[in-house]
Structure 1
Amino acid sequence: MSETGIVIVGAGQAGFQAAASLREAGHAGPVTMIGDEPSLPYQRPPLSKAYLAGKVDATGLFLRAPGFFADHRIACETSVQAASIDRAAQHVRLSDGRDLAYDHLILATGSRNRPLPVPGTDLAGVHQLRSIADADRIQAALAEARNVAIIGAGFIGLEFASICAARGLTVTVVEAADRPMARAVSEPIAAFFRETHESAGIRFLFGNGVQAIEGRDGRAEALQLSDGTACPADLVLIGIGVIPNQDIAAEAGLRVEDGIVVDSVLATDDPCVSAVGDCARFPTRFAAHGTARVESVQNAIDQGRCVAARIAGRATPYDAVPWFWSDQGGHKLQMVGLPIPSDVSVRRRTANGFAVFRYRGTSVTGIETVDSAAEHMAARRIIARGLSPTPEEVADPAFDLKALAMGRGGP
């Protein structure tokens, strides 16, 4: 058994931030991170953007240089998984048979790609994107690819589609919904990015599912679609969402509901166990139904800081504003808040792009911007303060959003 201290299961953004913030908060005891990849903690969002586009190499992904962890006495157990939790004994059993004792356990287990339950996903040329290793395999495959098929028109799929189109490849995106990013963005945003991608030569097949991935000699050759047609594909990316890594928590008797359930300070039902990042379902005033599980760098960082502060004796309820971004086809999409598909959209022109305000009744629930950094920063303040300019004000280009956000006007 190791010396008792803080054990963090997960070496992604949330786990790293919790470890780093514990040291910043003055925590002096042992801190150990458990990661199932061979590398030290790194950023995942650039994998589908700058990394695959060749604009950053692997060293540019790492959150800190190796010396940081030694200097801050953060132990990193790499290439090993947490197999089980013994809450009574307060230790974590590792996949190599070792036990790590803990005073406090932080679950930062993240999420995993949702599998596509059809024949052919094991063929060569079929990929998912979650890790550096995945991105490296895709990068190698791109060198010989001719026909790229992407299953799922979410952020990852569309970011990858942009990279492939820029390389001059034939790209087809298959999506069961009737528009891109249907669960995540408003209709005006979806329409804009559909037009952007189509103008770059990307073909969309909406309202269509995949029945099978067909191959020859063990390699992918085509998608068999639900309408009976075939779509040529020698490189296939499956991007149909993620599933929270909650199994280890459920097996330990902790409550899970599409995520590990935590309270306002990110603690589970067990006071010695917390959960942060993609895997955590937490109460928030920004969610329509009172709780949310948020997959974003912002959420991972802010929750890592929040749980570290609590462990260090400075507990504060988590109330960070959720925000997100995506780079597609030369445009930057930024989003604030947690609107739902039924929320009403009001469009506003900006200097270089446009914004969409989402309304539920008279309340603003989210704000989306395209190529509008200043408006995005104002949007964060507007959502944080719970402000709701009227639809008429939003639609008026003369209405000063920045003044409203800074408290110099509006309601």
Structure 2
Amino acid sequence: MSEAKQGPDLAAGVPLAALEDGGLLAGHVGEAAVLLARRGEEVFALGAHCTHYGAPLATGILVGETVRCPWHHACFSLRSGEAERAPAFDPLERWEVRREGDRIRVGGKRPAPAPRRLPPAPDAPSRILVLGGGAAGFAAAERLRREGYEGSLTLLSEDADAPYDRPNLSKDYLAGEAEEGWMPLRPAGWYGEQGIDLRLATRVDRIDPAGRAVRLADGAALPFDRLLIATGAEPVRPPIPGAEDPAVLVLRSWADCRGLIAQAEGARSAVLVGAGFIGLEVAAALRQRGLAVTVVAPQPRPLERVLGPGLAGVVRQVHEAQGVRFRLGEEVATVAPDRVRLKSGDEIAADLVLLGTGVRPRTALAEAAGIAVENGILVDAMLETSIPGIFAAGDVARWPDPHGGGRIRVEHWVVAERMGQAAALAMLGRGAPFDAVPFFWSRHYHDLNIDYLGHAERWDDIAVEGDLARPRAVLRYRAGGRVLAVATVDRDRENLRLEAAMEAGPLPA
């Protein structure tokens, strides 16, 4: 049976009793895969697969009148099909549902909802500028148009490529498993159709808050009523002799990734300096390309600072089983494009060397404009900076965390997209305090899937439920009697439930 025809024929109907309140059922209508969702006495029929990466929504959960994707936590309205939260942007299709006695039948496809139109408002911005074409910048521009904003909208990006799926740079695309066409977040013509003035390879020279304008490097001035700074972060080249050599690689942009792939095609070995998420995902991708990979880092275990010793040990075992060699607890003395010398005196030769030594927020424009900066651009709960009318979102922004307390800055793709969406609403005067629970995912080969919720820079202890040896477990990171963060291994639906619980209030410690 084809994937499209899995499950019951919903056009023929199913008993209402087959779908409990809060339940999900995958079936089909003709060749189309359709999902039934029940909330109380109402039953909804929608597309069965997430519009982000195609995950089966039947393995997700219902929260209120939404269905949430089990893979990357996209959220869709049951009534409209709209993608309410990133990382999905496209809506689900909808079908008519008829109740005939104790049976439910699915009829024809329903038309897409009419585009929203904003009611006139005397203080509505007529010109919005977005600095940065990454996750937050794209998500903000997309949401502004989806919300019915019809004013001038300009998206400035230093990147030569239109907004693309950055997480794939260290995952499937680098491994050779994702096609070129999968990378753009929208087709090239979409920006013009939406009236978004997308300017690529454009460098901003300064922000003029008093003049309410942005000055470009070519001397042009662009006025704004609202400004969103979404300049992201940039790779750190550590103060190690040789690290500034452009031939020593870093990975941040699509151009960086193309260069890495080109070099990997003629290479037999690689050294990665740094055992963070990017370094390890690159290690996995290069192993899939057949390169011998060595990872060098000063920590005793990869990712221990984020995941703790138990799960970090599992990560190391998975990579070692795939042939990755680790030189942990080692410090680098010098780097070159073809070798790394350790402080121990050992030298590791390689055909390519890549630095995975973290990133730093790109705050220079904000700082020069007099905007408050401290390990990122400081914003309030509405993502507005210290200067009214100027907002910040994504990797560059540091915001008040309603879940863990204090201020946090998070370098995760989904968080940046959700912040961009929240900033769009705030700029229109329709926002609410940003309170999303931080979420990220990390995949290592096809053997280890880690989903992480919340934010824990330190913890008193880690409570483990399940078995890390399988590995299939839930880890709770606790401090001061509170659960600050949760990591799950191969328990997608449980991670969704925990996210909903964290949104509602603190988890039991």
- 1:396 is matched with which residue? none
Aligned residues of 2:437 and 2:499 also touching (Cα < 8 A): yes
Looking at structure 1, the residues matched to 371 and 365 of structure 2 have their Cα atoms a distance apart, in angstroms, of 9
Aligned residues of 1:364 and 1:383 also touching (Cα < 8 A): no
- With over 3 angstroms needed to count, the CA separation of the structure-2 counterparts of 1:352 and 1:344, relative to structure 1, is closer
- 1:322 is matched with which residue? 438
Match of residue 302, structure 1, among 409, 415, 418: 418
1:173-322 paired onto structure 2 within 5 Å: 173-214=295-336, 220-287=337-404, 290-322=406-438
Gapped regions of structure 1 (runs ≥ 5): 215-219, 391-411
Q: Which deviates more from structure 2 when the two are superposed, residues 341-350 or residues 231-240?
A: 341-350
- With over 3 angstroms needed to count, the CA separation of the structure-2 counterparts of 1:313 and 1:320, relative to structure 1, is same
* 1:47-76 residue CA offsets vs partner (Å, 9 max, x unmatched): 000111112223211111122211211110
- 2:472 is matched with which residue? 353
Q: Secondary structure at the match of 1:126?
A: coil
Q: Percent identity?
A: 36
- With over 3 angstroms needed to count, the CA separation of the structure-2 counterparts of 1:386 and 1:343, relative to structure 1, is farther
Looking at structure 1, the residues matched to 325 and 213 of structure 2 have their Cα atoms a distance apart, in angstroms, of 51
- With over 3 angstroms needed to count, the CA separation of the structure-2 counterparts of 1:123 and 1:91, relative to structure 1, is closer
* 1:117-150 residue CA offsets vs partner (Å, 9 max, x unmatched): 2222355752100111111111011112222110
Higher relative contact order structure (alpha carbons within 8 Å, sequence separation ≥ 6): 1
Looking at structure 2, the residues matched to 69 and 193 of structure 1 have their Cα atoms a distance apart, in angstroms, of 40
- 1:141 is matched with which residue? 263
Question: Over the residues paired in the alignment, what is the CA RMSD in angstroms?
Answer: 1.8
- 1:403 is matched with which residue? none
Q: Secondary structure at the match of 2:215?
A: strand
Q: State whether structure 2 residue 485 is matched by structure 1 residue 382.
A: no
TM-score (norm 2): 0.72
- After superposing on structure 2, the runs of 4+ consecutive aligned residues of structure 1 that deviate more than 4 Å are 122-125
Looking at structure 1, the residues matched to 370 and 351 of structure 2 have their Cα atoms a distance apart, in angstroms, of 44
Looking at structure 2, the residues matched to 99 and 124 of structure 1 have their Cα atoms a distance apart, in angstroms, of 32
Q: Which deviates more from structure 2 when the two are superposed, residues 94-103 or residues 200-209?
A: 200-209
Aligned residues of 1:188 and 1:356 also touching (Cα < 8 A): no
Match of residue 289, structure 2, among 167, 170, 176: 167
Q: Secondary structure at the match of 1:66?
A: coil
* 1:1-28 residue CA offsets vs partner (Å, 9 max, x unmatched): xx96101110111001111111122222
* 1:163-216 residue CA offsets vs partner (Å, 9 max, x unmatched): 2223332211111122111332222211110111112121111121211124xx
Q: State whether structure 2 residue 201 is matched by structure 1 residue 79.
A: yes
Aligned residues of 1:150 and 1:171 also touching (Cα < 8 A): yes
User: In the alignment, residue 389 of structure 2 is paired with which amino acid?
Assistant: C
Looking at structure 2, the residues matched to 107 and 223 of structure 1 have their Cα atoms a distance apart, in angstroms, of 37
Aligned residues of 1:25 and 1:312 also touching (Cα < 8 A): no
Q: Which structure would you say has the larger Rg?
A: 2
- 2:274 is matched with which residue? 152
Gapped regions of structure 2 (runs ≥ 5): 1-124
Q: Secondary structure at the match of 2:449?
A: strand
User: In the alignment, residue 436 of structure 2 is paired with which amino acid?
Assistant: A
Aligned residues of 2:161 and 2:254 also touching (Cα < 8 A): no
TM-score (norm 1): 0.89
Q: State the shift of 1:245 in Å.
A: 0.5
User: In the alignment, residue 502 of structure 2 is paired with which amino acid?
Assistant: I
